[in-house]
Chains A and B, each alone.
Chain A
Amino acid sequence: DSGVTQTPKHLITATGQRVTLRCSPRSGDLSVYWYQQSLDQGLQFLIQYYNGEERAKGNILERFSAQQFPDLHSELNLSSLELGDSALYFCASSVGVRGGTDTQYFGPGTRLTVL
């Protein structure tokens, strides 16, 4: 158990809909990262938050957004869903210090299926 929790574990929805994925980081970690894992693309970084502020952005679509709340949990919002958005979405957390030793620990993921 990494200490990172994600809900829900599974989510099935229809095209055009909007969903929210939730992540609670490990105790003491200030940084939260979101990744998407699909069969053809592997693990792709989406976005990072540190202590409530966006720190880095990766391959995140405009239809997707995220935020980190004062209690440090984070939510990833996916809207106008398309079939191709079906994937595993992982949250990771770390202490958040810049530089070499900031190790990321992953949650169990949310499997999103868009029908």
Chain B
Amino acid sequence: EIQLVESGGALIQPGGSLRLSCVASGFIFSNYEMNWVRQAPGKGLECVSYIDRDSRIKYYADSVKGRFTISRDNAENSLYLQMNSLTAEDTAIYYCVREDGEPAAKDVWGQGTTVTVSS
């Protein structure tokens, strides 16, 4: 079964740091580009970060640039998001998402992990 399982979400104080993890199974992880997509409470979907198969190309939303770092370990079938200097605006469910390779085809989503930034 193709699966993405996120972990690492927590309640954290403003200014704090958190590292999200996503473990992939059921497919050849190294063959796929990956993303983090978030959804704030009651809001829409926002692409946070993207990484290509070889970790050579990385993109970030302007709202997180300089604070978040995406990485992957293909040997461990894992995707990561290091989040620093967190603010209340970062409060959201964070989804690990696979790119199928076809246009606009984010075809596999994890169940999400919740990050709450509050004092």
A and B assemble together: no
| A residues in contact (CB < 8 Å) with B | none
